[in-house]
């Protein structure tokens, strides 16, 4: 009996862990690549906004690539002081390189419009 309860608890834990890795409609999953190296972002029927932070050096090139199956995505990259700003509105597949002029913390704002796909942001 004790062994059966233990097995049930283990199965429940595994089920919860696996279900957290599956995207449901309206959800987004952001996985950070190492510390301050970038993000992998997946989303499904996503209609919200999300923001991330990344520390960049003045000679960094921020690479943004995306693959959208439907909908559209807007990305705004802004220096924490607010004066350096890059805006990207995209549909479909894209690869963009942004040369960073000022070192510091950058905020990356993502806005989805019924978007399904993936984005990779890296330096």
pLDDT tens figures, 28-38 = 677 777 667 88
Specify the pLDDT at position 91.
73
104 within 8 A of 56, measured Cβ to Cβ = yes
Residue 6 corresponds to which tokens in the numbers above? 């233990």
Is the separation of the CB atoms in 70 and 92 below 8 Å?
no
Distance CA 42, CA 90 (A): 15
Both tokens assigned to 102: 């000022």
Looking at the chain, the number of H-run helices and the number of E-run strands are: 1, 7
- Residue 80: pLDDT above 80? yes
Looking at the predicted structure, is the pLDDT value of residue 98 above 80?
yes
pTM: 0.73
Count, residues in the chain? 123
Q: Quick one: which H or E segment has residue 15?
A: helix 2-19
Domains of the chain: 25-122 (2.60.120.380)
Confidence of residue 17 (pLDDT cuts 50, 70, 90): low
Q: Which of 43-47, 56-60, 82-86 has the lowest mean pLDDT?
A: 82-86
Average pLDDT, the chain: 81
The CA-based dihedral angle spanning residues 15, 18, 22, 25, taken in that order and rounded to the nearest 10 degrees:
20
pLDDT of residue 15: 58
């Amino acid at each position: 009996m004790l062994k059966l309860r233990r097995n049930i608890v283990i199965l429940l834990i595994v089920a919860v862990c696996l279900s957290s890795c599956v995207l449901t409609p309206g959800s987004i999953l952001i996985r950070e690549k190492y510390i301050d190296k970038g993000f992998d972002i997946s989303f499904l029927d996503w209609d919200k906004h999300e923001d991330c932070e990344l520390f960049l050096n003045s000679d960094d090139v921020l690479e943004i690539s995306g693959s959208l199956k439907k909908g559209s995505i807007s990305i705004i990259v802004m220096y924490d002081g607010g004066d350096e700003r890059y805006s990207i509105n995209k549909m479909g597949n894209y690869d963009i390189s942004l040369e960073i002029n000022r070192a510091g913390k950058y905020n990356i704002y993502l806005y989805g419009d019924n978007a399904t796909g993936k984005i990779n942001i890296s330096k």
